[in-house]
Amino acid sequence: MDLVHVALISYTPDPERTIAAAARVSVSPVTITELWERLSPERADSLLSQLLAAGHLSPFEHASFTFAIEGISRVTSHQLVRHRLASYTQQSQRYVSLKKLDYVTPATISARPELENKYHRVVEAAHELYSQMLEAGLPAEDARYVLPGAVETRLVMSMNARELMHACSLRLCLKAQWEIVGLFEMLKAEVLKVAPRLGAELNPKCYRLGYCDESVSCGLFPTREPPSAPDKAK
Ligand SMILES: Cc1cc2nc3c(=O)[nH]c(=O)nc-3n(C[C@H](O)[C@H](O)[C@H](O)COP(=O)(O)OP(=O)(O)OC[C@H]3O[C@@H](n4cnc5c(N)ncnc54)[C@H](O)[C@@H]3O)c2cc1C
């Protein structure tokens, strides 16, 4: 496989109304069933805006999204699973022997043919040794030590909307690594199809801050001026 494939395989039905209804429970005297039946999509939309403006984010945990992710490198899956408030099930390199090696080639390497050739040779040599070790009867859990981080993987990830907003705030920042930025752009595109109001909130952190908190801005927002020193003369 040479293309990343991302699909939203299941999600909380009516995710935006679910979040809004959950938020209303804390302040409404009516039953939850009544509240749910009365809640129009327009009211849900405005409630979501209020929750976001107030930073009242726990209701966003009631909507969850499950994605199938295929064709990312192990380099990127390693970064992805650092987001702890999510569930992951990844193809095992212990139980699945890689007869054919699919791997990611960064564009910077493809742009340099003399290095790209060496890159492919090294990755293929690693796979050859891996295959020899399997043929010699070594367990896949040990032979896999020779495989590079470029090797493609597949996994299922479930994440709630609050954690999705948080992870997107970090991983859609152009200071994050290109492969994981691309992955989160695809995750956002999937959410936008089923929950456009929520999907519109999946943005790099500078959108919410109104400035760039990195040392050098990508140009989307300027970096914040350093706070001026207190006037010691007073
Ligand atoms: C551009 C970039 C560069 C990075 N570089 C490195 C690097 O060089 N080395 C490295 O090791 N990592 C690196 N990381 C990973 C980073 O340190 C975090 O592990 C990762 O972004 C997960 O984010 P998180 O910890 O905010 O939140 P998540 O795991 O997504 O959790 C969400 C939030 O829940 C809360 N939370 C979760 N677990 C706990 C807990 N145990 N205790 C208290 N609060 C908790 C926190 O508020 C947290 O922000 C990098 C990340 C980015 C985006």
Q: What is the pLDDT of residues 42-89, one digit of tens each?
A: 999 999 999 999 999 999 999 999 999 999 999 999 999 999 999 999
Q: Which residue bears the tokens 């705030």? A: 169
- Do 81 and 162 fall within a single domain? yes
CA distance 106 to 103: 10
- Residue 232 is predicted with a pLDDT of 62
- Residue 226 is predicted with a pLDDT of 65
- Do 106 and 177 fall within a single domain? no
Phi–psi pair at 218, nearest 5 degrees:
-80, -10
Candidate of 85, 183, 213, 214 to mutate for ligand 1, largest count of ligand atoms within 8 Å of Cβ: 85
The CA 83 to ligand 1 mean position distance, Å, reads 6
The CA 128 to ligand 1 mean position distance, Å, reads 36
Say yes or no: CB of residue 181 within 6 Å of ligand 1: no
Task: Read off the tokens for 148.
Answer: 């590079």
Residue nearest to atom 3 of ligand 1 (CA): 176
- Do 119 and 176 fall within a single domain? no
Active site residue ranges: 171
Phi–psi pair at 140, nearest 5 degrees:
-60, -30
- Do 162 and 75 fall within a single domain? yes
Phi–psi pair at 109, nearest 5 degrees:
-80, -40
The set of residues, in sequence order, having a beta carbon less than 8 Å from that of 176 and lying 6+ positions away, is 170, 184
Q: Give per-residue pLDDT as tens, 128-186.
A: 999 999 999 999 999 999 999 999 999 999 999 999 999 999 999 999 999 999 999 99
- Across 98-126, average pLDDT: 96
What is the band of 224 on the pLDDT scale with cuts at 50, 70, 90? confident
CA distance 199 to 187: 9
Candidate of 58, 75, 78, 79 to mutate for ligand 1, largest count of ligand atoms within 8 Å of Cβ: 79
The strand ranges marked E within 144-185 are: 152-160
Say yes or no: CB of residue 84 within 6 Å of ligand 1: yes
- Do 132 and 157 fall within a single domain? no
- Do 179 and 195 fall within a single domain? yes
The CA 82 to ligand 1 mean position distance, Å, reads 6
Which domain covers residue 126, as residue numbers? Answer: 97-146
Residue nearest to atom 42 of ligand 1 (CA): 84
Rounded to two decimals, the pTM is 0.94
- Do 65 and 48 fall within a single domain? yes
Task: Provide the 8-state DSSP code for 163.
Answer: H
- Do 215 and 179 fall within a single domain? no
Say yes or no: CB of residue 167 within 6 Å of ligand 1: yes
- Do 84 and 12 fall within a single domain? yes
Ligand 1 closest atom vs CA 170: 53
CB contact at 8 A, 65 and 158:
yes
Residue nearest to atom 41 of ligand 1 (CA): 84
Residue 102 CA neighbour count, 13 Å, CB half: 11
Edge-first strand order for the sheet with 64-73 is 5-11, 64-73, 152-160, 86-90
**Which candidate, 108, 130, 110, places its Cα nearest to that of 177?**
108
- Do 31 and 115 fall within a single domain? no
Domains of the chain: total: 3
- Residue 230 is predicted with a pLDDT of 67
- Do 223 and 198 fall within a single domain? no
